[in-house]
Amino acid sequence: MVRSMTLARIEEVRAIWTDPWSFISRLVIKDRFNRLHRLDQPWGEQVPWIDALLSDKKYVLGLKPRQVGYTTWTTAYLFWLSYTSTDPRLALQVCHDPDANLRLRDMVDTFRENLPRALRRPYKKGRDNENNSQYGHNGAGFIRRIAGARGKARGWTSNDLHATEMAHWASATSASSRTDAGGSDEQMFSSAMATMHDPTGRVIVESTGNGPTGLFHDLWKQATTDPKWAYVFVPWNTVGRYKIELTDREARDLERDLDDDEKVLVQKFGLSMPQIAWRRNKMRTERWTRLMFRREYPLVDTEPFMLAESNWFDQEVLSVMLSWVPPLGREKEPYREFYPPMKGVPYFMGVDTSGGVGEDWAVIQVIDINLRHMATWSSNRASPHETADQVSRMGARWGRPLTVIERNHHGKVVIDRVAELGGVALWKTDDDRDFWSSGSGAGESKRKAMSHARSIIDDEQTTIADARTIHELQTMVEKSDGKIEASGSGHDDHAYAFVMALWAAKDQQRLDKAVHERDRDRIERIRAMRRTSEGRR
């Protein structure tokens, strides 16, 4: 083959061989009708994913709507890495079911069989079966495993890892099936990671969401805050195929027929009538509930991790707030002050207590009379006495604020010590009782506080400056027993302390119109920038 080539042709082939995009754009895939197509014209929603794959990040995570081709492009990228390698580079692919395993094998076979002649290596028989695709010319290729199956990934050494549809791996969403060693999804991932010894290896994770528990949810939280990860999220309304063309009359009739949920989607996300028609058709033909659709086709990246329809707070509002605060994990000190105190301005505090043994957090949240988030203090190692001392110190700084401390568990100790130390005005009921959400009649008081907080947050009457607080508010759900708390086994201490701060301010809150409108304008500007950015993709 080489002898018949001119020198220029040899150089051209070498350039293609070493350039991932030039090589991948010459690969061929099958569509659902078994027709062959080249990978030379990616869809707009695939471009951010391709950019992430070609980046210098070792770790890549994609949260996707259904059927956007992330698995195909990842396999194509790993095919280029392995097929062109001078070493026996192996990519371990872990998928969620046997059908996906077979589709991956067929995809690799199609790549090999349809390579342009100039790019083919001399054929030598390699290891080729349901779970392995290895090339004879260099010993490189793919190892495939099914998450949850026996054998896991032990016994192999791999260079790269591709975890596809991780949220649907066995036990990925079942908290009850998890052990001290983690669920079977975590065990599979740990086993796979243990096979990797190549410092240049890539770890690529892509999936639709499937609720707020499991390994994929944990990695998603890490990827959104850790600069070591390349993170890609594509809302479904940026996918050009997801619409049904309508006549002008059909569009007008549909617009008059919108339900309340659809009106919100049009107002907040700018959905067109063709997109609304596509959404309706998808939900009707596939018998999906609203929750199921939002998980599989999200508009904001928190939707795939909703436990149930009963998420307590508006996820989109919280998502926008999250976009302007420092990422989770950047907290260097227990006390974070977002704005300094101003003389003459009333402040309010909410306190959630803990035992200080490294589990639940003791949290103090400060807001002003305009419901702006001013400061947060949190520690999972502070004893109730130390928490009380901190409440009094912060009280002195923030002008003796009215402070809600729940009188349950460790709260009684904190309240009694704060009463001795001073520094704050302790919140009391008209009959001189403390806030208490346990015991007879207490659930109603907590529900009232949570309902009040929901009205404030969902109506964008407050801004929150701490990422951990926002993340916890995003996980708050109303459970089947009527309790309003974090989903699964997650923490809600920061969220609950913020709710109590809002409760402390409810009878005195005075929304400064300039401050309130400025923050609401900020939310709308971020929404507009998001829509513009998404429209350019």
Q: Is the pLDDT of residue 176 over 50?
A: no
Q: Is 431 exposed, middle or buried (0-12, 13-18, 19+ CB in 10 A)?
A: exposed
Q: Is the pLDDT of residue 142 over 60?
A: yes
d(CA 141, CA 127): 9
The maximal CA–CA distance of the chain, rounded, in angstroms, is: 97
Q: Is the pLDDT of residue 269 over 70?
A: yes
Alpha carbon distance, N-terminus to C-terminus of the chain: 41
**Average pLDDT, stretch 262-271?**
89
pLDDT for the residue numbered 306 = 67
Amino acid code (one letter) for 376: T
Residue 536 banded pLDDT, cuts 50, 70, 90: very low
pLDDT for the residue numbered 524 = 62
The CATH superfamily holding the domain 7-234 is P-loop containing nucleotide triphosphate hydrolases (3.40.50.300)
d(CA 513, CA 241): 42
Residue 531 banded pLDDT, cuts 50, 70, 90: low
Better-predicted residue by pLDDT, 445 or 5: 445
Which of 162, 7, 192, 12 shows the shortest CA–CA distance to 72? 162
**How large is the C-alpha radius of gyration of the chain?**
27
**Average pLDDT, stretch 55-74?**
94
- Residue 472 CB-half CA count within 13 A: 22
pLDDT digits 0-9 by tens, 81-112: 999 999 999 999 999 888 888 999 999 999 99
Better-predicted residue by pLDDT, 520 or 19: 19
Q: Is the pLDDT of residue 442 over 50?
A: no
Mean pLDDT score of the chain: 84
Distance of CA 228 to CAs 56, 61, 218, 456, 521, Å?
10, 11, 15, 35, 32
Q: Is the pLDDT of residue 433 over 50?
A: yes
Say if residues 239 and 45 touch (Cβ distance below 8 Å).
yes
Q: Is the pLDDT of residue 229 over 90?
A: yes
Which of 372, 416, 419 shows the shortest CA–CA distance to 395? 419
Q: Is the pLDDT of residue 490 over 80?
A: no
pLDDT for the residue numbered 310 = 63
pLDDT digits 0-9 by tens, 207-217: 998 877 789 98
Q: Is the pLDDT of residue 273 over 90?
A: yes
pLDDT for the residue numbered 513 = 52
Interhelix angle 442-458/493-505, rounded to 10 degrees, is 90
* Domain residue ranges of the chain, discontinuous segments joined by +: 7-234, 248-305, 315-520
pLDDT for the residue numbered 437 = 64
pLDDT for the residue numbered 22 = 92
- Specify the range with the lowest mean pLDDT, choosing from 31-45, 127-141, 263-277, 510-524: 510-524
pLDDT for the residue numbered 497 = 95
The pair of three-digit structure tokens given for residue 492, joined into one six-digit string = 């809600």
d(CA 94, CA 204): 11
pLDDT for the residue numbered 461 = 86
Quote the distance between the C-alpha of residue 496 and its chain's center: 21
Three-state SS for 8? helix
Q: What count of other Cβ atoms lies within 10 Å of the Cβ of residue 157?
A: 14
**Average pLDDT, stretch 461-486?**
83
Burial letters 496-506, b for 16+ CB under 10 A, else e: bbbbbbbbbbb
pLDDT for the residue numbered 446 = 79
Better-predicted residue by pLDDT, 50 or 98: 50
Fold designation for 315-520: Nucleotidyltransferase; domain 5 (3.30.420)
d(CA 241, CA 360): 46
434 Cβ contact list (under 8 Å, min separation 6) = 405, 406, 407, 411, 415, 426, 427, 428
What percent of the chain is modeled with pLDDT above 90? Answer: 47
pLDDT digits 0-9 by tens, 105-134: 999 999 999 999 888 887 666 667 778 888
pLDDT for the residue numbered 126 = 65
Residue 445 banded pLDDT, cuts 50, 70, 90: confident
Most confident of 139-153, 290-304, 308-322, 369-383: 369-383
pLDDT for the residue numbered 292 = 77
pLDDT digits 0-9 by tens, 303-361: 888 655 467 888 778 888 887 788 776 667 899 999 999 989 999 999 999 888 888 89
Quote the distance between the C-alpha of residue 135 and its chain's center: 37
Q: Is the pLDDT of residue 151 over 70?
A: no
The pair of three-digit structure tokens given for residue 374, joined into one six-digit string = 């001013």
Better-predicted residue by pLDDT, 120 or 490: 120
Answer whether 0.75 is exceeded by the pTM: no
3 Cβ contact list (under 8 Å, min separation 6) = none
* Contacts of 438-445 spanning 24+ positions with Cβ under 8 A: 438/408, 438/409, 439/408, 443/482, 443/483
